[in-house]
Amino acid sequence: MKITLLGTGTPAPSLTRQSSGYLIEVGGDLIVMDHGPGAHHRLIESGYRAVDVGYVFISHLHYDHCMDFARLVLQRWDMGADRIPDLKVYGPAPIARMTELLFGEDGVYGPDIRARIEHESSIFVFEERGGKPPRKRPAPRVKEVKAGDVVEGDGWRVTVGNASHVQPQLECLAFRLDSDEGSMCYSGDSGGVCEGLIELARGCDVAILMNHYFSGGEPTASYRAACGNHLDNAAIARRAGVKTLVLTHFLAQIDQPGVRERIIHEVKQEFDGNVIWGEDLMRLEISRLKEKRL
């Protein structure tokens, strides 16, 4: 089982950190968790293509977590030429509505899709890619999920939990993946010391947690409850008993030499496991993380 960090940034513009995205190779499947702007470019840089991805889990519908979803679906549909199974998509409501508004007959990409299905030149390209007309519309198989739901694939199982973020305006989920090769938990966006997240991450090999800002720098209590900071994350990792903590989703203000080291040092005062400062395209092999302490 391998995890590649596709995007470790925020909604803020950055050339070094794209918005949220994580790629998991497990069993015979390739899974994406979140697909914010830039994450798809990183997916290609990681050596994969949209057609290789079978499953997508979206934690919440903030645009920095789902804007490249459209790119993934359309590129996969276009290159796949009806020769690959439909993409399986899991996320909170209203992700089914979002998908319909993007790819439905009257959707944002409706005219594009119609043109690619009907225009002679597009049919030619489709056939060159191995497709047999009439071409089908993109039809991602979307299932809206909530905390407690379980999704199973080839040798893996994802359990859905709640994050503490911007509810009730947006439903916000966290995911835990278990397999024979190892386990990981991704917080999505989450703040404070979220008890549900501690339970979800219990005993995981890897926990990937939103680390938006430096502890104590929160402007309000509500901000702290919605956005992760390093000392709250250290407490979550310690109480959940995870082996490796991966910090991600950094504001530029804390993504600085000196600040970075101080955060890692302070986390290590509280949490006894490995601590990793996430970077785009960083690749984590679970078996290696199990073998050694960093």
Shortest reach from residue 224's CB to Zn ion, in Å: 14
Nearer to Zn ion, 69 or 156 (CB): 69
- Measured from the CB atom, is 175 or 271 closer to Zn ion? 175
Amino acid in position 13: P
Q: How far is CA 114 from CA 71, 232, 267, in A?
A: 17, 49, 53
Q: 81 or 247, CB closer to Zn ion?
A: 247
Residue of 293, 291, 288, 294 lying closest to 1 (CA atoms): 288
> DSSP H helical segments within 14-139, as ranges?
39-45, 63-66, 69-80, 95-103, 110-118, 120-128
Rounded Cα–Cα distance for residues 139 and 55 (Å): 13
DSSP for 174-186, written as a single string: EEEEEETTEEEEE
Q: Indicate the residue among 75 and 233 with the shorter CB distance to Zn ion.
A: 233
Nearer to Zn ion, 22 or 103 (CB): 22
Shortest reach from residue 206's CB to Zn ion, in Å: 21
Q: Is-contact 60 92, C-beta < 8 A? A: yes
Q: Which of 215, 213, 247 has the alpha carbon at shortest distance from 231?
A: 215
Range 137-166 burial, b when 16+ CB lie within 10 A, else e: ebebebeebeeeeebebeebebbbbbbbbb
What is the chain's Cα-based Rg?
19
Chain residues binding Zn ion by CB under 5 A are 62, 189
**Nearest approach, Cβ of 82 to Zn ion (angstroms)?**
35
Q: Report in angstroms how near the CB of residue 192 gets to Zn ion at its nearest.
A: 14
Output the smallest distance, CB 120 to Zn ion, in A.
44
Among residues 21 and 182, whose Cβ is nearest to Zn ion?
Answer: 21
Q: Shortest Cβ distance from residue 165 to Zn ion (Å)?
A: 6
Q: Is the peptide bond before 168 cis (omega within 30 degrees of 0)?
A: yes
- CA separation for the pair 149, 140 (Å, rounded): 19
Closer of 58 and 289 to Zn ion (Cβ): 58
Distance CA 61, CA 63 (A): 6
Query: Shortest approach of Zn ion to residue 252 CB, angstroms?
Result: 17
